[in-house]
């Protein structure tokens, strides 16, 4: 067996997030601890006023978050990101960013009323405060996480998914706060119905094109700064600012009253209004995700070429299809037609094992760290050959 | 086991290396940016004038047919004004606001909710005894004093079951100013009027 090793022993690998020797770690801890205290105090306050409202909000928004977490987990191909990255990103969005955003947004709303008018604040306050404060703070979290352990972020996709997690954390905690505010402002003693109404509007009608997408776009900008090392610093900053501005602009447009007249277009006006505002955000989010996937595919193909030359691990015909989501799916479909669905499932298992091997190689180089992943590939290949009747 | 070393491989650039690197300049920049952002906004808000003075005797609409007459010398507290929902005025540290909303629940809940909010928001440490009040415009409800570490405040809550409305007026400020301005506060509460239902 050949083992490829790069650099000095022990130098290649991934840092954890516990980095007490790095200043960024302590700033992250400071903001997270303050955020946890602040959000817990806010929730306790709301519990004292509308206990049923808060408990209902916590339950429904936790349930709501689960499919999104699952989706983002799978967007990050094959557990490239550690659980701690997801946890910290979610915590930054839900604790650090929310805690810092509340006083800043309050000040902007207050200034909009004082310098403009209460009507101006009601119309445009959210369009000014929302993107300016929230995109800045959420992106700050992405940058802090990268600073603490930059080796955790090997590809554009890993930063984009981290950004989406930051946004999801922000979105969920913000929605819990909105729900309890709705319960406090309820028109009767019922605290549950306002929470469910908020879930319907903010969760199901507006949730797909919300903070997760904005932060994923800003995260893509952070990734461009990180990975375009061949370009000048000014260019890299320019890339970052461009995507940050895109996230800011989409958020501002969503919060602004510019498209409000659509609401009065017939009976379907309100629905049309949400789609008109949200669809561009979703489409741009998909475009960003596809660009990140393309970069991810190039990266995986490069890792495969250099670290896994053996055909027994990745056959020549598999190399072209392995790194792309669509090409992997097409290969499975073709196999399903020829040998049935069990064979396609076996190929799926093989592809996952191969990708895990590539991710392990990308993290540690080829060696003892990847021995388990190599064995998994060989096992998966034997199962596939048993299904297809191929001779090893 | 054969070990092959590829120190100049281009892929070497993409392999993560656990090396020491400085984060304090960027960390300091982030900390500075966050503190500057929040600090500038909060200081600006603190210094920005609150609102325009109210003309003597001017009746101010709050919403849902409710109106009141702010006391002379008070200024509109623009951040507390919510069109069709709430209005507020202030004089130095003393703030007075009125909020009106649709209400279909029990007559007791708006007062309980206001008291719970005051307690949990640390505006009040304890409450005085509750009593009833009636304005010259015919509105009647319950009122209660609230006391904080360095604040004194009062709630006036009216539930109009016929119109299905809840009205919550509140005042809070330093104890000295609260007592000095108590007549003005009473006058503002007394000026509360709800238009007769059509």
pLDDT value at residue B9: 41
Residue with tokens 């703070």: A137
Pair of tokens at residue A283: 């489409």
Residues B49-58, mean pLDDT to the nearest whole number: 84
ipTM of the complex: 0.88
- pTM of the entire predicted model: 0.87
Contacts with A147 from chain B: Cβ below 8 Å: 23, 26-27
User: What does the alpha-carbon distance between residue B28 and residue A361 come to, in Å, rounded to a whole number?
Assistant: 34
| CA-based nearest distance A345→chain B, Å | 31
Burial call A365-376: b when 16+ CB within 10 Å, e when fewer: bbbeebeebbeb
Q: Please name the member of A107, A121, A150 whose beta carbon is closest to the beta carbon of B42.
A: A107
Each of the 392 residues of chain A gets a pLDDT tens digit; together they read 334 444 455 677 788 899 999 999 999 999 999 999 999 999 998 898 899 999 999 999 999 999 988 888 776 555 567 889 999 999 999 999 999 999 999 999 999 999 999 999 999 999 999 999 999 999 999 999 999 999 899 889 999 999 999 999 999 999 999 999 999 888 888 899 999 999 998 988 888 778 999 999 999 999 999 999 899 999 999 999 999 999 999 999 999 999 888 888 888 888 899 899 899 999 999 999 999 988 888 888 888 888 999 988 999 888 888 877 788 899 999 999 999 999 999 999 999 999 989 988 888 888 888 899 999 999 999 999 998 876 44
- Give B147's strand partners: B126, B152
The pLDDT value given to residue A77: 56
Query: What single string gives the DSSP state of each residue in B53-74?
Result: BPPTT--EEEETTEEE-PPTT-
pLDDT tier at B7, thresholds 50, 70, 90: very low
Residue A20 Cα, gap to closest chain B Cα (Å): 11
Please tell me the distance in Å from A61's CA to the nearest CA on chain B.
23
Contact A110 B51 (CB under 8 A): no
Question: Among all chains, which residue has been given the structure tokens 């904005």?
Answer: A214
**pLDDT value at B8 more than 50:** no
Q: Which of A281, A277, A275 is nearest to A255 (CA)?
A: A277
Residue B117 binned pLDDT confidence (cut-offs 50, 70, 90): confident
Kindly report the average pLDDT of chain B as a whole number: 87
Q: Residue A76: what pLDDT?
A: 58
Angle of CA points A206, A207, A208, to nearest 5°: 100
Distance CA B104, CA A40 (A): 31
Per CB-CB distance under 8 Å, the chain B contacts of A20 are: none
- C-alpha B171/C-alpha B156 separation (Å) is 9
Question: For residue B124, is pLDDT > 80?
Answer: no
Q: Is the confidence at residue B13, as pLDDT, over 90?
A: no
- Helix segments in chain A, DSSP class H: 23-49, 51-75, 83-91, 98-111, 118-129, 136-148, 156-184, 192-198, 211-227, 233-255, 269-307, 316-322, 325-339, 341-364, 371-388
Nearest to A12 among B16, B83, B121 (CB): B16
Give the A:B interface size as CB pairs under 8 Å: 167
Mutate to test the interface with A, among B3, B4, B15 (most CBs of A within 10 A): B15
The closest of A122, A127, A131, A256 to B79, measured between CA atoms, is A122
Q: What is the mean pLDDT of residues B137-144?
A: 93
B75 vs A contacts (CB less than 8 Å): none
Chain B interface test: which of A23, A42, A155 (most B C-beta within 10 Å): A23
**Stretch B30-38: mean pLDDT:** 97
Express each pLDDT in B74-105 by its tens digit.
Answer: 999 999 999 999 999 999 889 999 999 999 88
Partner-chain contact A147 B105, CB within 8 Å = no
- Pick the most confident of A258-267, B18-27, B113-122: B18-27
């Amino acid at each position: 067996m050949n083992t490829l090793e790069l650099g000095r022993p022990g130098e290649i690998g991934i840092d954890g997030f516990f980095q007490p020797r790095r200043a960024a770690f302590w700033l992250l801890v400071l903001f997270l601890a303050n955020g946890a205290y602040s959000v817990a105090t806010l929730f306790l306050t709301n519990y004292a006023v509308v206990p049923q409202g808060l408990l209902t909000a916590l339950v429904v928004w936790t349930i709501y978050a689960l499919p999104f977490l699952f989706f983002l987990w799978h967007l990050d191909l094959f557990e490239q990101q550690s659980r701690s990255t997801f946890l910290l990103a979610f915590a930054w969005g839900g604790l650090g960013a929310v805690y810092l955003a509340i006083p800043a947004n309050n000040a902007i709303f207050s200034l909009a009323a004082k310098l403009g008018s209460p009507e101006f604040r009601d119309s445009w306050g959210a369009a000014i405060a929302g993107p300016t404060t929230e995109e800045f703070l959420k992106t700050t979290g992405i940058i802090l996480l990268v600073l603490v352990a930059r080796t955790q972020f090997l590809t554009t996709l890993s930063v984009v998914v981290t950004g989406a997690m930051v946004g999801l954390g922000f979105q969920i905690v913000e929605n819990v706060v909105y729900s309890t505010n709705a319960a406090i402002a309820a028109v009767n003693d019922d605290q549950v119905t306002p929470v469910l109404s908020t879930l319907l509007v903010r969760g199901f009608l507006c949730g797909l094109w919300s903070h997760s997408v904005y932060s994923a776009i800003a995260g893509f900008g952070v990734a461009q700064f990180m990975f375009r090392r061949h370009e000048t610093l000014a260019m890299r900053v320019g890339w970052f600012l461009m995507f940050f501005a895109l996230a800011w602009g989409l958020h501002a447009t969503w919060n602004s009253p510019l498209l409000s007249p659509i609401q009065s277009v017939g009976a379907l006006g309100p629905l049309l209004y949400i789609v008109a505002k949200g669809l561009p955000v979703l489409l741009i989010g998909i475009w960003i995700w596809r660009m990140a996937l393309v970069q991810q595919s190039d990266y995986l193909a490069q890792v495969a070429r250099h670290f896994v030359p053996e055909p027994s691990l990745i056959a020549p015909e598999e190399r072209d299809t392995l790194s792309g989501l669509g090409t992997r799916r097409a290969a499975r479909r073709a196999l399903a037609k020829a040998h049935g669905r069990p064979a396609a499932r076996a190929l799926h298992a093989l592809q996952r094992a191969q990708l895990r091997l590539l991710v392990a190689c990308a993290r540690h180089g080829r060696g003892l760290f990847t021995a388990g992943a190599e064995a998994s590939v060989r096992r998966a290949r034997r199962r596939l050959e048993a299904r297809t009747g191929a001779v090893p | 086991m054969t070990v092959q070393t590829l120190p100049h491989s281009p892929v070497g650039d993409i392999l993560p290396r656990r090396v020491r690197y400085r984060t304090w300049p960027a960390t300091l920049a982030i900390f500075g940016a966050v503190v500057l952002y929040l600090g500038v906004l909060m200081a600006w808000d603190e210094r920005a004038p609150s609102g325009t003075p109210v003309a003597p005797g001017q009746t101010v609409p709050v919403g849902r047919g409710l109106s009141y007459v702010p006391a002379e010398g008070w200024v509109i507290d623009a951040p507390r004004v919510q069109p069709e929902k709430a209005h507020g005025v202030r004089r130095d540290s003393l703030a007075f606001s009125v909020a009106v909303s649709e209400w279909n629940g029990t007559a007791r809940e708006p007062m309980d909710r206001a008291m719970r909010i005051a307690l949990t928001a640390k505006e009040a440490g304890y409450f005085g005894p509750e009593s009833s009040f009636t304005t010259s415009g015919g509105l009647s409800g319950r009122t209660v004093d609230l006391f904080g570490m360095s604040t004194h405040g009062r709630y006036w809550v009216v539930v109009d079951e016929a119109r299905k409305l809840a009205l919550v007026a509140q005042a809070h400020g330093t104890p000295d100013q609260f007592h000095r301005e108590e007549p003005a506060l009473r006058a503002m509460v007394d000026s509360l009027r709800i238009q007769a239902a059509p």
